[in-house]
């Protein structure tokens, strides 16, 4: 079955760029049936959808983060990635990647999540 695994630095300095990658196994990011999303969860708080990408490169971002977010896909590596610029302590969170059934909030499965702390 499809599995997703996040990877990237666990510590980022304020004002710098957060970069994470999600590696998909057991399935293909090139499948035209799915989108691929990033979701985050600050410690002890709720879930926030960041955005999604389609294999063609088409994206949709949460308006609250749109000015700072870029999601990209690398079909040759079966990966998709997240970049968040100008981070602050408010961006400290568990970051999850998930398979997305497209403009629905239907996420299944999810990766295990990776904690990113923004601190100097």
Nearest-angstrom CA–CA distance, 22 and 9: 13
Instruction: Among 2, 14, 25, 47, indicate the residue that binds another protein (CB under 8 A).
Output: 47
Other beta carbons less than 10 A from residue 35's beta carbon: 25
Q: Does 109 bind another protein (CB under 8 A)?
A: yes
Q: Does 34 bind another protein (CB under 8 A)?
A: no
Cα distances (angstroms) measured from residue 118 to each of 5, 28, 43, 54: 21, 32, 12, 28
* 39 or 73: CB nearest another protein: 39
Instruction: Among 30, 60, 70, 78, indicate the residue that binds another protein (CB under 8 A).
Output: 60
Task: Write out the residues near another protein by the rule CB under 8 A.
Answer: 37, 39, 46-49, 52, 60, 62-64, 96, 103-113
């Amino acid at each position: 079955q499809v599995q997703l695994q996040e990877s990237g630095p666990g510590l980022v300095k304020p004002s710098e760029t957060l970069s994470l990658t999600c590696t998909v196994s057991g399935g293909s990011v090139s499948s035209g049936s799915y989108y691929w999303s990033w979701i985050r969860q600050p410690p002890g708080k709720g879930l926030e959808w960041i955005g999604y990408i389609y294999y063609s490169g088409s994206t949709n971002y949460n308006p609250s983060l749109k000015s700072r977010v870029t999601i990209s896909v690398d079909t040759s590596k079966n990966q998709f990635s997240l970049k968040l610029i100008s981070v602050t302590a408010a961006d400290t969170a568990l970051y999850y990647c998930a398979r997305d059934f497209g403009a629905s909030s239907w996420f299944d499965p999810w990766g295990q999540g990776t904690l990113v702390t923004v601190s100097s």
